[in-house]
Structure 1
Amino acid sequence: MTEVTDDRKMLEPMATVVSIALRILVGLATAGLILSVVRGSWGSGSVCITDESTTSSVAPGSFAPEPGAQIASVPYYCAENPGAALRLVAELGTTASTLLLISSLFLLHRLLQGAGRDGVHTTLTASRLRLLGWWLLAGSLVVALVQANTQAAVLAELSKDADFSAGSWLQMWDFPYLAVLTGLGLLTFARITRAGTAMREDLEGVV
């Protein structure tokens, strides 16, 4: 019992911060969804996209750069009255990112709560750590792919110079380096935790 209590203390203040952040995010997401349904404003407003692959040295005259500095213009397209299909595609990337954030926080909260209750050096904790690592690794790649495709689709719809192709979404793809490295790190720590748990069980058996 004392050992589990010590493990719970080691997990603070991370466990409390994650628990509060998860509740706030879920509350905000739920409130936003309810307000959108009540007001009938889901998907309303304009749909905009920036074509960062196209730049021009021509800039509006209202911008005055310092000597030796240059201004580059980047096209910014907006559909003032987009159709339902275009609004759905535009919202898909943001929704996927939000779902990944909330689900990852939930798995982290579950991991910390379980480790505080059952102990850090357990097979179950190692399994939950491994699940979080795979979820973050695979989920970040999927979300980045979804966002790239939705942005390319919106740009193709709003710009005559753009088309929806493999090349267009590859230009939009922002590889999630930090999330991937974090996922790989969690998988490594999961293996370390599992190995440490096995060694500890062997030592306890010998004693």
Structure 2
Amino acid sequence: MASDSQLLRPMPGLVSATLRTLVGLSLLTFIWGRFDSRIGGPWGGASLCVDADWISVGVGSDHVASHLKGRSTVDFTPRFCASHATSYQHLLQTAVGLSLLVVTVGGLYLLNKALSTAARDGVYTRQTAARLANLGRWMLFVPLAGSLLVANVQALLLATLTTLAPLTAGGWTHFWHVPYLSMLTGAGLIVFARITRAGSDMREDLDGVV
């Protein structure tokens, strides 16, 4: 019968390599971006734009209009960009990228810890169950908090670019996308952690009987 470490291969090494690569590339991008403004990544860059997909603007191009069928119409989503971004705008852009990076790196870190613990101590152990529960709570709450933060920061950033979207109490809702998949995954991991904990207790009881 294959051991737990063999069953988990190659996931622990793959997740660990992905985590190290992501962190390394992010640090490299940050350092390089301090000397070259064209470098973007999670820290921002020369291009600072925000899409406002709830603002519909008609297109008056004869070329586009000539290709419409029937009574159809066409319009586009405006993209507001800063030709010469201020330090405040760059700070807001960096906050968006940084929050997304923290959610991703944090999730990968906790997944790496869970897989490493399972490979070392076994799948049905209290240590593995605790690691899975931590990962589940992260996936359930942190992406939700991150999405709220990103939505509010993007609303602030758009308000600095146009008067068509002034800063209001509910302006952030236009940018908010509920991370349903990560939340459902987190809830599933928490349930699986409880199952793993129950399996660990059963194994300890059997070992005691034997």
**1:189 Cα deviation from its structure 2 partner:** 0.5
Q: Secondary structure at the match of 2:23?
A: helix
Does residue 184 of structure 1 match 2:187? yes
1:17–1:158 CA distance, 2 compared to 1 (3 A): same
Q: Write the distance in 2 (CA, Å) between the matches of 1:115 and 1:57.
A: 56
Q: Which deviates further from its counterpart, 178-187 or 196-205?
A: 196-205
Of 22, 26, 44 in structure 2, the residue corresponding to residue 25 of structure 1 is 22
1:34–1:134 CA distance, 2 compared to 1 (3 A): same
Q: Secondary structure at the match of 2:178?
A: coil
One-letter code of the match for 1:77?
Answer: F
Does residue 125 of structure 1 match 2:128? yes
Q: Write the distance in 2 (CA, Å) between the matches of 1:105 and 1:97.
A: 12
Q: Are the equivalent residues in 1 in contact too, given 2:155–2:172 (CA < 8 A)? A: yes
**1:54 Cα deviation from its structure 2 partner:** 1.1
1:39–1:49 CA distance, 2 compared to 1 (3 A): closer
Q: Percent identity?
A: 39
Q: Which deviates further from its counterpart, 172-181 or 12-21?
A: 12-21
Q: Write the distance in 2 (CA, Å) between the matches of 1:43 and 1:18.
A: 26
**1:59 Cα deviation from its structure 2 partner:** 4.8
Q: TM-score, normalised to structure 1's length?
A: 0.90
Cα-Cα RMSD: 2.0
Does residue 140 of structure 1 match 2:143? yes
Q: Write the distance in 2 (CA, Å) between the matches of 1:35 and 1:200.
A: 52
Q: Secondary structure at the match of 1:24?
A: helix
Map 1:158-177; keep pairs closer than 5 Å.
158-177=161-180
1:75–1:115 CA distance, 2 compared to 1 (3 A): same
Q: Write the distance in 2 (CA, Å) between the matches of 1:44 and 1:94.
A: 11
Does residue 53 of structure 1 match 2:54? yes
**1:44 Cα deviation from its structure 2 partner:** 4.5
1:108–1:59 CA distance, 2 compared to 1 (3 A): farther
Map 1:5-154; keep pairs closer than 5 Å.
6-39=3-36, 43-63=44-64, 65=67, 67-68=69-70, 70-154=73-157
Structure 1 residues not aligned, in runs of 5+: none
Q: Secondary structure at the match of 1:158?
A: coil
One-letter code of the match for 1:10?
Answer: L
Q: Are the equivalent residues in 2 in contact too, given 1:65–1:71 (CA < 8 A)? A: no
**1:117 Cα deviation from its structure 2 partner:** 0.7
Q: Secondary structure at the match of 1:77?
A: strand
Q: Which deviates further from its counterpart, 152-161 or 121-130?
A: 152-161
Q: Secondary structure at the match of 1:80?
A: coil
Q: Are the equivalent residues in 2 in contact too, given 1:49–1:78 (CA < 8 A)? A: yes
**1:58 Cα deviation from its structure 2 partner:** 3.0
One-letter code of the match for 1:88?
Answer: L
Q: Write the distance in 1 (CA, Å) between the matches of 2:37 and 2:151.
A: 28
Q: Are the equivalent residues in 2 in contact too, given 1:46–1:81 (CA < 8 A)? A: no
Q: Write the distance in 2 (CA, Å) between the matches of 1:24 and 1:190.
A: 28
Q: Write the distance in 1 (CA, Å) between the matches of 2:44 and 2:203.
A: 54
**1:165 Cα deviation from its structure 2 partner:** 2.2
